[in-house]
Amino acid sequence: MEDIRLKTVSWTFAGREWQLCCNMNVLADVQAIYGELSSAFSGGMMRSVLDFLAAMLNDCAESNGWQIRYTGRQLGHELGWAEFQEIQAVVMDLVTAAISTGEEPEADAEEAEPKN
């Protein structure tokens, strides 16, 4: 049986331990920024990563009752290049896992057999 739980990653930032997760709320927040979610993937990936990260941080903060909110632009001021490079791979892995459709469906037995 496939594990369907959302993937989470612990990350220390601004003196707190964050649980990053790309759930439907995060996707909806990013969609609100770009109009269409697909637009977040066409163009500047650096801005998209910052926006996805901000949405993940805000979702975690809300879940924990922390009165803190970030924007992608704010994170661009706070993260150094090395830290951005490190978190970029994590963020995109979480996003990919969230929107992945999983395994390819198996072909119907009727389609698998050659037709005469």
Residue 28 is predicted with a pLDDT of 96
| CB environment 48-79: b (16+ within 10 A), e (fewer) | bbbbbbbbbbbbbbeeeeeeeebebeebbeeb
- pLDDT, residue 115, reads 44
State the Cα–Cα distance between residues 116 and 20, nearest whole angstrom. Answer: 53
> Could you state, in order of their start, the residue ranges of all structural domains in the chain?
8-112
Using DSSP, state whether 72 is helix, strand or coil: helix
What pLDDT is recorded for position 114?
46
Residues of the chain with pLDDT under 50: 1, 103-116
The pLDDT score that the predictor gives to residue 4 is 59
Cα dihedral angle (47, 51, 52, 53), rounded to 10 degrees? 100
